[in-house]
Amino acid sequence: MYSFSLVPFILFAGVLSVTAQPFEEDVYPTGKGDLKITFLGHGTLMFTFDGITIHVDPVSRYADYSKMAKAELILVTHDHGDHLDKRAIEALTKATTKAVMTEECAEKSGLPGANIMKNGDTQVFHGIKIEAVPAYNLEHMRSEGVPFHAKGVGNGYILTFGSKRVYVAGDTENTPEMKALQNIDIAFLPMNLPYTMTPQMVADAARAFKPAILYPYHYGSTEPNELLTMLRDSPEIKVLIRRMN
């Protein structure tokens, strides 16, 4: 059974206030213990599983990493500033931390000891299987006709936690590689225009690879609830909305 923990509110003296817990969290059983997902904001996520902490695209504007536990594993999808933050990575790094990123990220950040993954690679870090999925634009381009995210440059990642396969897509559109994925239990798909997908593209991709649970994330000013309407014809896909704008 899944556990969903939202930020609690307290009504005191007629004023709505938020308690000390700043982030929404969901918890899923995996057969090897619980997976806790913490939604930090935009494209920034934290996973806690089997005693280890994993950060995806940690960015300082979404969390005070000096007050958070150090990471065993850090994944960076691509080198744009809202995904690659050297200061956040350094704040989370300890002697045993593995930082996984693209070649462009390693070059741009200058971080020593980065573990490079290219599209299609599979590696295991701290017992977690990681698969790198291509992340790129098909339609959305800059004014000069160059894609916001070129093919072969960025990664999405599939992480295997016990029996659960979690796909964090990074900045991408509904590519053939995405639509060919199989056995995805939880998917994070971006919806920030004009850089990633429209709600229609997200719905199209979801119908193709059928994640059991779909979180729209990195959605900026796009209305994420549009997906609830678009995917009414796909009840096997549970759409959950969290604060990830």
Q: Please give the domain boundaries of the chain with CATH numbers for all domains.
A: 3-239 (3.60.15.10)
Backbone angles phi, psi at 201, to 5 degrees: -65, -40
Flag whether pLDDT at 143 surpasses 90. no
Tens of pLDDT, residue by residue over 82-108, are 899 999 999 999 999 999 999 999 999
Distances (CA, A) of 71 to 17, 47, 66, 92: 30, 10, 12, 5
- How long, in residues, is the chain? 245
Least confident interval from 12-16, 111-115, 117-121, 141-145: 12-16
What is the reported pLDDT for 4? 53
Tens of pLDDT, residue by residue over 185-235, are 999 999 988 889 999 999 999 999 999 999 999 998 899 999 999 999 999
Flag whether pLDDT at 41 surpasses 80. yes
Q: What is the DSSP string of 77-91?
A: --SSTTT--HHHHHH
Rounded Cα distance between 181 and 177, Å, is 7
What is the reported pLDDT for 192? 87
Model-wide pTM > 0.85 = yes
Residue 181, token pair as written in the block: 């994925």
Flag whether pLDDT at 12 surpasses 70. no
What's the burial of 5, exposed, middle or buried (CB within 10 Å: 0-12/13-18/19+)?
middle
